[in-house]
Amino acid sequence: MPHQGHSSYHEGDLTGLRVGVPRNYYFDRVAPDVESAVRDAIDRLRDLGAELVDVEIPMTRYVQAVQWGLMVPEATSYHERTLRATPELYAPDVRVLLEAGELLLAGDYLRAQRARTLMRRAWTRMLEAVDVLAAPTVPLTAVPAGQQSVRWADGSEESVSDSYVRLSAPANITGSPALTVPVGQDRAGLPVGMQLIGRPLGERTVLRVGRAYEATRADAGRLAPDAGTPWAAESTPPEAPRSPTLPTLRS
């Protein structure tokens, strides 16, 4: 099994590396175009030699509560001075969220921290079986400006803000290194991303897998089409400047 310090491999060869494919959570309530693009990308990792391993994501029922229990009071603390001095500078929805953070008790925050510790331990055990986890970065592509909610095929409704952070929350809570790479476009030409999540201090492996995948795509480094540009309807958009560096880690 490849390790963080393992250097005896060829770039693009993922033989011996195990990629976890979530059985739950990450493909729940995901747009069909997003799921299709990400699963195709995962299959491409298999073609590069990786072994695909089905994994069960632990403690998913607590993700949203823990995320908001940590994020809201921390954001409120950071913005406390300016929120009180110049509240008019904040958009109404942001101001309401930050003001709500002032109502959370210290006990609530500590409980969220304890839950985070339990989630980290559960994720560490899960990642013992795989080297990286591959999943959608967000469950849907960009929505029209002003859209407030998303209705999924199962009839459930979710706010746009909740949907956009739902799949990145576990890595943020557990502190796992995570990278997102573009893997295609939806029917409207909007970009779809796949996130690769690694073990603690496993950045090298995450970047290795991301780089190996990008090397298989002829459109790597190109800009996504924009509806306002004359080449939006073309199959091959103009090429953007190529960077010699590896993909940027998502914080």
Separation between Cα atoms, residue 157 and residue 149, nearest integer Å: 7
CATH class of segment(s) 18-147+164-219: alpha beta
Element (H, E) at 19: strand 18-22
Helix axes 63-85, 106-126, angle to 10 degrees: 140
pLDDT for the residue numbered 241: 38
- Tens-place pLDDT, residues 183-228: 999 999 999 999 999 999 999 999 999 999 999 988 766 665 555 5
- Measure the CA dihedral 241/178/202/69, to 10°: 150
pLDDT for the residue numbered 243: 38
pLDDT for the residue numbered 223: 63
- Tens-place pLDDT, residues 59-78: 999 999 999 999 999 999 99
| Beta-bridge mates of residue 18 | 51
| Beta-bridge mates of residue 197 | 133, 178
- Taking alpha carbons only, the member of 186, 244, 184 closest to residue 211 is 244
Q: List the chain residues with pLDDT less than 50.
A: 1-8, 229-249, 251
Q: Which two tokens stand for residue 76?
A: 């409120």
* CA dihedral sign, ordered 47, 50, 56, 59: negative
Residue 155 CB neighbours (<10 A)? 6
Phi, psi of 179 (to 5 degrees): -135, 140
Separation between Cα atoms, residue 5 and residue 224, nearest integer Å: 35
Separation between Cα atoms, residue 159 and residue 50, nearest integer Å: 36
